[in-house]
Amino acid sequence: VASSGRRHRGAGLQPAAYALAVPCSSRVVEIQSQMSERAVELLGLPEDRPCLLLDVGCGSGLSGDYISNEGHYWIGMDISPAMLDVAVEREVEGDLLLADVGHGIPFRPGMFDGCISISAVQWLCNADKKSHNPPKRLYQFFSTLYTALARGSRAVLQLYPENSEQLELITAQAMRAGFTGGMVVDYPNSAKAKKFFLCLFVGASGTLPKGLGTECADGEEIRQAKFTNERTRFRNAKGKSVKKSRDWILEKKERRRRQGK
């Protein structure tokens, strides 16, 4: 279904984009990278093997870059040909598919070990055409996503809801499709740093992760921040090379050789 990273497939789709605009500043890239890192962290992936992830609204592949750097494989879907063209020009390591996720996720059952989406799902609440029915499109997306994910896996969808009604609509359709889970809110007391992550479980219900920057009694916030810092140091201690360094480039080339590219 998906093409190689040098081209993408799909036709007859509306022009609205499901991703951030083409990155025009280092600040945009930094924010996208931070949200991608947080989304992958919330997936709770196993550390002893590479996983295959779905990136919904992949855009120019910024989230995919982080996934690749973590040693995982990915397939990206987006409705915007222009954004996918940028991803192709950037020579991202993932495969790309031009598609409207409101029509569903066209992959076989249990194919993916997880799914992330950055700033995309809220666009399904819009009726860009007369034929668009937001609740039906959301249900089609979530029900087919549920099928495409392996049992025990997660989907983490970062979004910017316009209001509480939109948030309720998205959550209700996800639960109707069979997901369990809920909303993880990072820095809820900050107007600028506040981020919503819809964390969904496939199969057995898991423990919902706690949001960053939440006020807790008995110093729980401090312990959580300390745990996060220790995990960061542990990841650095694993010997991963600094991005864009000579070793990082050689490792990337070796990964692509193994993928047959």
* pLDDT (mean) for 56-85: 95
What pLDDT, in 10s, does the model give residues 99-133?
999 999 999 999 999 999 999 998 998 877 777 78
What pLDDT, in 10s, does the model give residues 74-96?
999 999 999 999 999 999 999 99
The strands making up 95-98's β-sheet, listed across from edge to edge, are 95-98, 73-78, 52-56, 112-118, 149-159, 195-201, 180-186
Cα 174 to chain centroid distance, Å, stands at 16
Interatomic CA distance for residues 123 and 129, integer angstroms: 13
What pLDDT, in 10s, does the model give residues 199-247?
999 987 778 888 898 765 444 443 333 333 334 333 444 456 666 677 7
* pLDDT (mean) for 7-35: 58
pTM above 0.85, yes or no: no
Name the token pair of 186: 């990072």
Cα 10 to chain centroid distance, Å, stands at 21
Interatomic CA distance for residues 175 and 164, integer angstroms: 16
